[in-house]
């Protein structure tokens, strides 16, 4: 960690900030990345980097490129400051960003008095933010992400089926969901940049509302409605089951803001399909996280407990198939 | 035979301690981890109290859906999973979905009671 601190100091000095000392604290965030809070006498920053030797879906360098593009089109994101490749001054590939004040902790956002005003405007701000992400001209990404296949839904089904197979856990309800999703895939959408994890928990919110969209490690090219369906799954309502959009708003309200900000007309049936898919994806992620504990990749009772949460999205998936 | 408290009662006591006593005492960023630990104890206590009834019901369901005798619910779930994946049951998806809801409901009754009654 001292090595990392030295690297961070050197990079910050190049950016014009000389720090007598820096304090690094590991903070939870993201399934496969390390996140460090950096504190010095002159301010705070955040470093995201790949754990040593890990393979992630979206390489850190690509996440840097995506956040930079998103910042340019006006998506609220932490300002990216510096990227270091593998073997660079952050050790593994890492991105240094400005610190964004606020919280990403869902129960706090949904229940604390201090976020009351933020909640009132959040649905609309999420619509605008997602429209900006989906407005990004794919030509300007310079091949950062793998090209979309001919059918974004079938591509995603194949991806998460593959991830399920890596675990080997027998989940007949998930299997049935996969067959249903194959049979009911909507007409292929014109591919857009899909954030892939656009949901409460990955939004930094301050007293005024949405301050930043974080955790771009599941980004890919695909059907933009995928992000809307994922946003709405019951798990991301954190107990506010009657408020589909992040536990704070209605889909109509979200859709109006999204469309007014330049997003394509929101097709409710398509969103429902992607909500079903989102539940499938969350079920597989839960099983994967538990498997990471069981195989010793990362021992943690939090990850272990997710194995017993697979049944929640399984239930919602089966209900959405009706 | 072991003395009381029973295994489930012991877990209840640990869950109560974690939730009511320890959780307010730890730093804010640790509270969620303590809550998860308390919840894990509660899940295991429910599983112990439920006994082997849920497994027997699942086994009966899987036997019916597979149309043959199987002895182990996990092996049966794996076989059913393979058959669904192969596509051979594709024309029965609408019929299988509510049957698999029975299986998922039995998991929820242990892991998250009440979940199957909520939502929209």
Phi, psi values for residue A64, rounded to 5°: -60, -45
pTM for this entry: 0.95
> Per the CB < 8 Å rule, is B100 touching A173?
yes
Looking at per-residue confidence, does B62 or A298 come out higher? B62
**Of the partner residues A172, A179, A308, the one whose CB lies closest to the CB of residue B90:** A179
Q: Where in chain A is the domain with CATH 3.30.200.20?
A: 2-98
Q: What are the structural domain ranges in chain B?
A: 7-50, 53-114
Q: Is the pLDDT of residue B46 over 90?
A: yes
> Per the CB < 8 Å rule, is A302 touching B118?
no
- The pLDDT, as a whole number, for residue B119 is 57
Task: Label the pairing between strands A80-84 and A94-98.
Answer: antiparallel
**Of the partner residues A170, A180, A319, the one whose CB lies closest to the CB of residue B119:** A319
Residues of chain A with pLDDT under 70: 29-31, 53-57
CATH architecture of A106-320: Alpha-Beta Complex (3.90)
Task: With beta carbons under 8 A apart, name residues in chain A contacting B39.
Answer: 305
Cα distances (Å, whole numbers) of residue A242 to A105, A319, B108 = 20, 15, 20
Q: Closest by alpha carbon to A204, among A285, A120, A125, A124?
A: A125
CB A66 within 8 A of CB A75: no
Q: What is the mean pLDDT of residues B114-118?
A: 90
**Of the partner residues A173, A316, A319, the one whose CB lies closest to the CB of residue B103:** A173
Rounded to two decimals, the ipTM of the complex is 0.96
- The pLDDT, as a whole number, for residue A273 is 98
Position of tokens 């010095």? A40
What does CATH list as the number for A2-98? 3.30.200.20
- The pLDDT, as a whole number, for residue A143 is 84
> Per the CB < 8 Å rule, is A176 touching B84?
yes
């Amino acid at each position: 960690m001292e090595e990392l601190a030295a690297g961070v100091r050197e990079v910050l000095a190049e950016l014009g900030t000389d720090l007598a000392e820096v304090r690094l604290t590991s903070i939870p965030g993201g399934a496969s990345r390390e996140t460090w809070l950096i504190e010095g006498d002159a301010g705070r920053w955040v470093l995201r980097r790949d754990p040593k030797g890990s393979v992630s879906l979206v390489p850190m360098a690509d996440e840097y490129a995506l956040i930079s593009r998103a910042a340019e089109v006006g998506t609220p994101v932490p300002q990216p400051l510096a990227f270091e490749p593998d073997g660079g001054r952050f050790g593994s590939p890492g991105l240094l960003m400005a610190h964004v004040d606020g919280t990403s902790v869902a129960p706090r956002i949904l229940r604390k008095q201090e976020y009351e005003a933020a909640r009132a405007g959040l649905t609309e701000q999420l619509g605008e933010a997602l429209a900006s992400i989906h407005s990004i001209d794919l030509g300007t990404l310079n091949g950062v992400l793998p090209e979309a296949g001919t059918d974004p839904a079938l591509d995603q089904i194949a991806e998460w089926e593959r991830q399920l197979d890596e675990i080997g856990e027998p989940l007949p309800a998930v299997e049935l969901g996969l067959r249903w999703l194959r049979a009911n895939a909507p007409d292929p959408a014109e591919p857009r940049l899909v954030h892939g994890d656009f949901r409460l928990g990955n939004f930094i919110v301050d007293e005024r509302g949405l301050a930043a969209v974080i955790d771009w490690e599941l980004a890919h090219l695909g059907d933009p409605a995928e992000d809307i369906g994922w946003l709405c799954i019951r798990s991301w309502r954190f107990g506010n089951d009657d408020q589909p959009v992040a536990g704070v708003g209605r889909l109509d309200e979200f859709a109006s803001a999204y469309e007014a900000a330049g997003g394509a007309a929101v097709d409710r049936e398509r969103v429902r399909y992607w909500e079903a898919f989102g539940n499938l994806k969350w079920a597989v992620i839960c099983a994967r996280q538990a498997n990471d504990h069981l195989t010793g990749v990362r021992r943690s009772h939090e990850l272990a407990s997710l194995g017993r949460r697979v049944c929640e999205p399984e239930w919602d998936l089966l209900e959405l198939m009706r | 035979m072991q003395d009381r408290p029973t295994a489930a009662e012991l877990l209840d006591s640990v869950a109560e301690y974690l939730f009511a006593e320890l959780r307010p005492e730890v730093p804010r960023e640790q509270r969620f981890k303590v809550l998860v630990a308390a919840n894990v104890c509660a899940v295991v206590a429910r599983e112990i109290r439920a006994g082997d009834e849920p497994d027997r019901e699942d086994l009966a369901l899987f036997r019916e859906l597979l149309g043959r005798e199987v002895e182990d619910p996990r092996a049966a779930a794996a076989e059913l999973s393979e058959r669904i994946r192969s596509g051979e049951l594709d024309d029965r998806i609408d019929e299988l979905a509510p049957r698999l809801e029975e299986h998922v409901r039995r998991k929820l009754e242990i892991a998250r009671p009440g979940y199957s009654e909520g939502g929209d």
